[in-house]
Amino acid sequence: MKLGIFATTVLTSCFFIATSAQAANPNHIRQLLQTKECRYCDLLRANLSLANLRGADLRGSDLYSTDLKYSDLREAILTGANLYKSDLRGADLTGAEITGTDFREANMCNAIMPDGTKSKQGCPDALNTTPSK
């Protein structure tokens, strides 16, 4: 019985340690939202959808798999930021600095790019939307 309780405690502890090691730093999220300055911050997997990040300095920050749906990133500095697998659907990046930014596997469907064009990266393929018979 004691062995079962011990094993459950160890497994639960490992789960919480692994989960917390892969989450955004809450102090960095607070700093970003209050000051719009967060260079080299740990924001991975943060929920920043609908956030007003206009002009924010996020250079070098880790935004891996972050939810940025419909966020305002106009004129933001994203130089060297990691946005790998992030969700940027409908986000506005007009005038943003994106030199060296990692957008691999990011969903950018209908995001407005720095030059004002709409991205189709991650959008469902129009050819696959025909009704089936």
> Thinking of the domain 39-122, which architecture would CATH place it in?
3 Solenoid (2.160)
pLDDT of the residue at 9: 41
Question: What's the pTM value of the predicted model, to 2 decimals?
Answer: 0.78
pLDDT digits over 35-87, tens only? 999 999 999 999 999 999 999 999 999 999 999 999 999 999 999 999 999 99
Q: To the nearest whole percent, how much of the chain has pLDDT over 90?
A: 75
Residue 21: pLDDT band with limits 50, 70, 90 = low
Going from N- to C-terminal start, the domains of the chain cover 39-122
pLDDT of 131 higher than 80: no
pLDDT of the residue at 68: 98
Residue 98 near residue 79, CB atoms below 8 Å: yes
Query: Between vectors from CA 102 to CA 101 and to CA 104, what angle results, nearest 5°?
Result: 145
Q: To the nearest whole percent, how much of the chain has pLDDT over 70?
A: 78
> At residue 51, what are phi and psi to the nearest 5 degrees?
-70, 145
pLDDT of the residue at 11: 39
> At residue 15, what are phi and psi to the nearest 5 degrees?
-60, -45
Residue 16: pLDDT band with limits 50, 70, 90 = very low
Residue 22: pLDDT band with limits 50, 70, 90 = confident
Residue 108: pLDDT band with limits 50, 70, 90 = very high
Can you say whether residue 36 is alpha, beta or left, with left for phi > 0 and alpha for psi between -120 and 50 degrees?
Answer: left
